[in-house]
Structures are given as structure tokens and as C-alpha cells.
Amino acid sequence: MKSRGRFLLWFGIAFFAVTAYAQTTWVGKCVRIEDGDTIAVLHNGREEKIRLFGIDCPESGQDFGQKAKAFTSNMVYAKTVSITVMDVDKYGRTVGYVKTPEGLVLNYELVAAGLAWWYEKYAPNDQTLKSLQEKAQFERRGLWSQPNPIPPWEFRRNGTTTQPSVGFTQPTTQTPPQTQTPWNTVGDTVYITRTGKKFHRMGCKYLSSGATPISRQDAQARGYQPCSACKP
Ligand SMILES: [Zn+2]
């Protein structure tokens, strides 16, 4: 290895160590769901508003806005979550990753389910969000089932649903992109019930009595079988 390369390598490692060290992670109970990408979590005895980093959910007036909120609620409401702080936004909200007690990263799960956009402007380097979104588009999940979904940041600016200026073009690849992520269970969440022996997709009629998110891997390892109605 040339010395310049070695320098860059060490610089990279040092940079990673410093940024990793600078990240704060804390734990608290989720006490409120504002919408799909904004929740409130108890921190040092008070409610702290958390905006999910790197994603943007459809607004409540948009298609899939309510679904995104329900998804977030099901994943974290009244649960003890872990917050990895990335930033504080101009409204004073903490911006971060939200991890469920099951070890799932809510930011990633929302994008994987087609219930949030990768907010590329604010998280240009998050390749996991990028590839999860490409996979969701490829599989036409959630909002990607629509021909021309409007990015929520455009919707907010225009206050209208007419004339999307950023169209979504179907990817031409025939194989879904692979996901690389620092977390091992990402983007393949299924749901189980307290008594059933099957695992399901969100929204399955057999989940009316409550749904617990779990990774497909864990569900299979624990002997759950795919539901024949929702074909997860
Ligand atoms: Zn099912």
C-alpha cells in the first residue's frame, strides 16, 4: 500500500472513531405519535420531540400518511426505544434514528415498507436508506404502488396535490438491490400475534387482535410459518 493510501485509511478510521464517539444514544418510553416521522419520547422526565433522521413520511393529507402513522404507532408507541441523535433541527427537535426493543430501526422499516421517502437532501450518505427505497420501489410497496407519488417536501411547499414535478421512474433492473446496513435486521419486518403460529404482513386481517413486529429471520427461527392469506 502506498503511503498516501495508508494515510487515508488511518484518517478514515480516526474519523469514524471520532464521529461514532460523538453520537449520543439514549433510551426512553415513546409517549406520543405525532405522525409517521415524528414522535415524542420521555427523556430526563420530560417529553422530547424526535424527528426521524433521513426520511420523510407522506403528510396526513397525502395517501399513505395515515398508514405511516399507524405503522410507527404499532412499532414504537408505549415502548422503550433507543434514540441515536444525529442533529437538532431548526425547530429545536432532536433528529435521530429510533430503534425498537426488538432491535429494528424505525427509520429503515418505514422506507422498506414504502411508507417514507429517503430524505436525500438531509441524509445523502445513508446508503441503507437509498437501497431500501430502491427495493421498495422495485417491489411497488406502499406509496410506490402509485404511478406518480408526490414527495412530501413538495406537497408541503405547494399545499396541493397537482402537478408533481418530480416523477418516480420505475427502475429498470430486474433484481432488487441488496441492502448493506450496520444493523442486522432491517427491511424485512413481519408481524406475529400472541397466540398464532403464522407471521403476517402489516394490514393482514388476522392481525386484528394486535401485531408484534419481528424480523422474518427471527420469526422463521422461532418456528412461525408464513400466513397463506397475506403471503408475507
Ligand atoms: Zn396474514
Distances (CA, A) of 88 to 77, 91, 94, 96, 214: 22, 8, 5, 9, 30
Per-residue confidence (pLDDT) for residue 186, from 0 to 100: 56
Q: Which residue has the higher pLDDT, 91 or 62?
A: 62
CATH 2.40.50.90 is right for the domain spanning 25-159:
yes
In the reported structure, the alpha carbon of residue 195 is separated from the centroid of ligand 1 by a whole-number distance in angstroms of: 13
In the reported structure, the alpha carbon of residue 232 is separated from the centroid of ligand 1 by a whole-number distance in angstroms of: 7
Largest CA distance in the chain: 62
Region 187-200 average pLDDT = 85
Distances (CA, A) of 190 to 48, 67, 94, 122: 29, 16, 28, 28
Catalytic site positions: 51, 59, 93
- Residue ranges per domain, the chain? 25-159, 188-232
Distance CA 185, CA 214 (A): 9
pLDDT tier at 124, thresholds 50, 70, 90? very high
In the reported structure, the alpha carbon of residue 212 is separated from the centroid of ligand 1 by a whole-number distance in angstroms of: 13
Query: What is the H or E stretch that residue 37 is in?
Result: none
Written as nine digits, the cell of 160 is 396541493
183 has a pLDDT exceeding 50: no
pLDDT tier at 17, thresholds 50, 70, 90? low
182 has a pLDDT exceeding 50: no
